[in-house]
Amino acid sequence: MNHTFVSALVLLLLVLDPLGALPIFIPVMQGVAPKRRLRVALRESAIAYAILLGFMFSGQAFLALMHLSERSLEVAGGVILLIIAIRMIFGDPDGKPGHGPMRAEPLIFPLAVPLLAGPSAMATVLLLASREPEHMLRWMAALSLAMAVSCLVLLGADLIRRWVGDSVVAAIEKLMGLVLSAMAVEMILAGIKHYFFGGGA
């Protein structure tokens, strides 16, 4: 599955899922002094961006080190995204885990990792870079814009929930999950097709 800038941007936004992160982000930030919240949110977003950027540039080296093919990564990434999409649509069977206010100011965990730079986001940037390394600037731009949008959503978390309500946020997340599930299935089918009809691994 070859991606354009727009399709990569949409995929990254779906994987980062800033709307789905609101129920965790809001209570965690309640333990932070109001005058520090903006700085903390920007810092954690920057850390998540640096981590994902590192995974993007180390993709080929990681695959070579682990003796993995791009096809296996494509299928595995599609399966992971499909699981994420199913949870977005139907919710977690045991309820979505939440975090209460933290006593100390969050640093890396749980906001930067795994809320923003989670396993699915890491696998996605790794897949983009490994499949089409000649378009690295395109993937960097898509990641930068997706992270900027996610950061803005999280910064306006309280305003968004008051403005549209929890039910609308939940409905939008389910719609995003449906789109992500279709993209995940496309990735799986493309990986299988390339493996069996494109010269194998």
The sign of the dihedral angle between the CA atoms of 31, 35, 38, 39 is: negative
Cα(178)–Cα(143) distance, rounded to whole angstroms?
21
Kindly tell me the sign of the dihedral angle through the C-alpha atoms of 140, 146, 148, 151. Answer: negative
Beta bridge partners of 109: 107
pLDDT band at residue 173 using 50, 70 and 90 as cut-offs: confident
The whole-number pLDDT of residue 149 equals 96
Question: Cα(50)–Cα(3) distance, rounded to whole angstroms?
Answer: 22
- Residue 90 reports pLDDT greater than 50: yes
Q: Give pLDDT, residue 164.
A: 83
Predicted TM-score (pTM) of this structure: 0.78
Fill in the DSSP letter of residue 110: T
- Residue 103 is predicted with a pLDDT of 60
Rounded Cα distance between 193 and 201, Å, is 11
